[in-house]
Amino acid sequence: MTRNLRVGGAQMGPIQKAENRDAVVARMVKLMDRALAEGCDLIVYPELTLTTFFPRWYAEDEAEFDLWFEREMPSAATRPLFERAKTAGIGMCLGYAELAEEEDGEVHRYNTSILVDKAGRIAGKYRKVHLPGHAEFDPERKWQHLEKRYFEPGNLGFPVWRSLGGNLGMCICNDRRWPETYRVMGLQDVELVMLGYNTPTGNALSDEESPELRMFHNHMSMQAGAYQNGTWVVGVAKCGDEDGHELMAGSVIVSPDGVIVAQAETMGDELIVADCDLDKCRFNKETIFDFAAHRRPEHYRLIVERIGAEPPEGGE
Ligand code: CDT
């Protein structure tokens, strides 16, 4: 049996600080048109698709940094994208900075992605759990990474939705490096994980880490997550030189065997496409990673009981 989902990964080139959302959305629509010409069922855009990667800029004033956030989705700027998707009947996943007024009456800020189904409905929302970086200006770094300043950790967990004929999940950028991310979705029988990333080509704290090593870590994390949970993973970059700060490219679609089946070749707007047969997840899920048969959660307690590593007591 096959349950094929033709997926387009819409890698985006750089977005400068001064660029406005309308210009970005026009680029997104162009990539969507390419995906439609290729017969895609679903298009996946990067993390914080609509703006430059603003956590590299330090701001004190809320009025200044709130300009990076969306108060509603679709927003005025993204409406043409939603309309094009609905008319054409293509699903999409996109990341954005969300300013939400929640039940506590307070304003909260999240690094968010949504899944929109082919009928144009928001079928799922995910808020980034693993926020890297720091909250205050850090003079030790060659550039800032202020996600902990601008966002709260997501409060929605790692849900999986039945949508587009499969079990679909999302995570965002740094989440892809954590095995817990994939396993929590794996335990909900996830078949396709969609994720976007903005990852600097270099390490702000070390010149030792080469771009090649960083790309290896990028792909290895997604390939391991795919294999160990028997799921497709679609990882999509925003890349290139944003106001003098380079972000890596390397967008990929990874099969449930952990094999890269499509990979971007440029540092700009580029569509990668793969036929993702969701039934291909079954073999892995029903043999080597048959969780019901082989997992031993009684030995995994530390994973939820402890956060930081502690060495064993005693010894020399
Ligand atoms: N956007 C994002 O999460 N980027 C991180 C870089 C962290 S460097 C402090 C990543 O893991 O790719």
As averages over each run of 10 residues, the pLDDT of the chain (316 residues) reads 91 97 98 98 98 96 92 97 98 98 93 98 98 97 97 98 98 98 98 98 95 98 98 99 98 98 98 98 98 98 98 86
First to last CA, the chain: 58
Query: Which residue has a Cα nearest atom 12 of ligand 1?
Result: 199
Q: What is the pLDDT of residue 315?
A: 75
What's the CA gap between 316 and 314, in Å, rounded?
Answer: 7
For residue 255, give Cα distances in angstroms to 59, 82, 111, 229: 40, 28, 26, 11
Distance CA 308, CA 184 (A): 19
- Clarify whether 286 is annotated catalytic: no
pLDDT of residue 1: 57
218 C-beta closer than 6 A to ligand 1: no
| pLDDT of res. 94 | 98
Residue 313 Cα to ligand 1 midpoint, Å, equals: 33
CA–CA–CA angle 48, 52, 53 (5° rounding): 65
Q: Which residue among 52, 126, 145 is best mutated to probe the pocket of ligand 1, counting the most ligand atoms within 8 A of its Cβ?
A: 145
Which atom of ligand 1 is the closest one to the Cα of 55? 1
Q: Is 177 in the pocket of ligand 1 (CB under 6 A)?
A: yes
Closest C-alpha residue for ligand 1 atom 11: 174
pTM: 0.97
